[in-house]
Structure 1
Amino acid sequence: MISARWFDGCGIDYTCSPQRGSIGFRIGESPVVRIEQINLDHPLYPQECALREQVLLNPIGYDMERFRREFRGMEEAFVHFVAVVDHPTGPRVIGCALLHPGYPEPGVGKVMQVAVDPQRQGEGIGRKLIIAVESYGFGRLGLREIFCHAQLPAVGFYERLGWTAGDGVFLEAGIEHRRLSIRDSDIEPNR
């Protein structure tokens, strides 16, 4: 077991067991990828928006301007998480996830717009983002449940993290999705 500080925003230390073939941190070193909570004024926010456009919005005919226009006030309501790596030219955002706390009711939160740079997928970055979102939502905000609408190829990713898939498939933005959720009591230690 290795203890690594993944998410300094809450000051939480995560204990994890690196899985074979995963990248993200090395024994005896600081994590290569760090998770940060940012706001709309943060210097990394434009990079988060560019990643969301590239991976999530452009494929369905959106850009950030259209998203902001059609979903007024949502950007401000989200808690923004980014996965960051250091680079000689400065920090780079390689992943992001948004939490909408109190949606659709108090005590519940929705995870939205989870994206990882296509060149960095498969390295455990999405896992780190979701664990940070859960820790913040359950630990800091006291949520009882967090849910998401996941595209079908991502359902297994969430299930491996202990999330439960609801019945039925539905269309969202013309893409098939399933609802998945997790409660604080569902989280297993050392996942």
Structure 2
Amino acid sequence: MTGTTIARTGDIAACRALRRIVFIEEQGVSEADEIDDLDDEAIHLLALQDGRPVGSARLLIRGETGKIGRVCVLRAARGTGLGAALIRAAIAEFRALPGIKRAKLGAQTHALGFYEGLGFAAEGPVYDDAGIPHRDMVLQL
């Protein structure tokens, strides 16, 4: 991950471009499921590698819960620890906000072990989101 930075961004277009590649093109999620009206209220994290966007995450505040969503990493940057770094950056953002007591995310079921390794615990049943099986995961902050 040399030359990689993760920070808040106002460049929603860059985040959406990454999400289009990963979710719509690679995973077959419909554009209607991917694009919603929550981007304007969210905190966006953008990962840059040597100045190029390679990953992003979207953070929403819901009462005492910080919701992590739309986490994506370009194929060329996978396996480098970038996904874990994005999740850690999201957790740090929530910990810095007063009143946020937990982080929550909807994990694709194949990624449950990844999130468990970052301290999240699965809760509730498996459910379908955009044709992909997911399960909610929570981390107490």
What TM-score does the superposition give when structure 2 sets the normalisation length? 0.90
User: What code does the residue aligned with 2:77 have?
Assistant: R
Equivalent-residue separation in structure 2 for 1:97 and 1:136 (angstroms): 12
Corresponding residue of 2:14: 47
Return the alpha-carbon distance in structure 2 between the equivalents of residues 33 and 157 of structure 1.
20
| Aligned counterparts of 1:126 and 1:141: Cα–Cα separation in 2 | 25
CA distance in 2, matches of 1:63, 1:46: 16
| Deviation of the 1:63 alpha carbon | 6.7
Q: Which residue of 2 aligns with 1:183?
A: 140
**2:79 paired with 1:80:** no
Q: How much does 1:110 deviate? A: 1.0
Structure 1 residue aligned with 2:55: 95
Q: Please say if 1:33 is aligned against 2:14.
A: no
Aligned partners of 1:81 and 1:36: how far apart in 2?
A: 5
In structure 2, give the amino acid aligned to 1:150: A
The structure that has the greater radius of gyration is 1
The CA distance in 2 between the partners of 1:97 and 1:133, in whole Å, is 8
Residues 1:100 and 1:62: Cα distance change in structure 2 (over 3 Å): same
Greater share of strand residues, 1 or 2? 2
Which aligned segments of 4 or more residues in structure 1 are displaced greater than 2 angstroms? none
Q: Normalising by the residue count of structure 1, what TM-score does the alignment of the two structures yield?
A: 0.68
- Corresponding letter in the other structure for 1:133: A
Separation in 1, partners of 2:14, 2:92: 23
- How far is 1:123 from its partner? 0.4
Q: Find 1:148's aligned residue among 102, 105, 114.
A: 105
Q: 2-side partners of 1:112 and 1:141: how far apart?
A: 20
Q: How many residues align?
A: 139
Deviations 1:15-37 (CA, angstroms, capped at 9, x unpaired): xxxxxxxxx24xxxxxx211010
Matching residue of 2:23: 56
Which protein, 1 or 2, shows the higher relative CO under an 8 Å CA cutoff with sep ≥ 6? 2
Distance 1:147 1:138 in 2: 13
SS at match of 1:143: coil
Distance (Å, rounded) in 2 between the aligned partners of 1:132 and 1:176? 25
Question: Is there any run of 5+ residues in structure 1 with no aligned partner, and where?
Answer: 1-23, 26-31, 185-191
Q: Is the 8 A contact 1:35 1:83 kept in 2?
A: yes
Aligned partners of 2:22, 2:107: CA distance in 1, in Å? 14
C-alpha separation in 2, matches of 1:141 and 1:56: 32
Q: Is the 8 A contact 2:30 2:130 kept in 1?
A: no
Aligned residues of 2:9 and 2:46 also touching (Cα < 8 A): yes
Q: In the aligned structure 1, how far is the partner of 2:116 from the partner of 2:79?
A: 16
Secondary structure at 1:46's aligned position in 2?
Answer: helix
1-side partners of 2:99 and 2:84: how far apart? Answer: 21
Q: How does 1:5-16 map to 2 (within 5 A)?
A: none
Query: What is the CA RMSD across the aligned residues, in angstroms?
Result: 1.7
Aligned to 1:159: 116
